[in-house]
Amino acid sequence: MKKQTGETLAEVSELVCYGVVKAGTSVLYTNGSTRAGLNTPISLNKLRAACRSMESNRGKFVNSKIAAGPNFDTSPVEPSYIVFMHTDCTADVRDLPGFTKKVEYGSAIKACHPREIGACEDFRFVPSPLFEPFLAGGASVSTSGMKSAGASKCDVYPMIIMAEDAWGHVSLKGKGYTGISPTLISSKVKNHANPLGMFGYVGADFWYAPVRLNENWMIRIETCVTDI
């Protein structure tokens, strides 16, 4: 129960951060000008458009992860923009012209994250099933061949492209909390609520705040994915 609670709260904090970051105001669509008209997958030209926009706003490549404290990991990253996306986007990303698999990087290049799948031009791709889509948020499926949860309208997936210092987060410590604070009461502890020592409690909480620091250094590309 301790392990499951820790894993669950870690995912909750990830989703809190994702909710803040995906609400950014800089957005591109793989086709059209609104989410409701989407019916095409990601393309190299759309990634290049995102790159052009961030470079014109002097967005920097991500060169390293910066440790915010003892509870945040740090590791080297080759200069690039990082793309966070749902795992459903993986097949279309692998089909991009010039895509390089992570296993082909060679020993001189280290992955920016254990889930990284590869790179294309100035981008490194990190998928996760936590980065959920807007179900049935796009255009009619018709003959587009795009994935749809309800088989009527295309699902829309946000692909979030980050430059350095685009966002930040902190584990708040106002009450002595550092990261996730567990509460464990063994069933062996007898008290007025548990006089016979028959049950225990496992729980946890955390204080955490993410923030978007520069809207021009992050772009959300909204895309559909091929139904395979």
pLDDT tens digits, residue range 61-89?
A: 987 655 545 445 555 567 889 999 999 99
Q: How many C-alpha atoms does 191 have within 13 Å on its Cβ side?
A: 8
The token duo for 128 is: 């996760």
Mean pLDDT of 175-184: 70
Among 5-19, 34-48, 75-89, 163-177, the minimum mean pLDDT is found in: 163-177
> Are 161 and 26 spatial neighbours (Cβ–Cβ below 8 Å)?
no
> Are 79 and 61 spatial neighbours (Cβ–Cβ below 8 Å)?
yes
Distance in angstroms (rounded) separating the CA atoms of residues 117 and 103: 8
Distance in angstroms (rounded) separating the CA atoms of residues 43 and 224: 11
Mean pLDDT of 32-58: 94
Among 81, 102, 80, smallest CA distance to 90 is for 102
Residue-range domain boundaries for the chain: 2-223
| Per-residue model confidence (pLDDT) at position 90 | 96
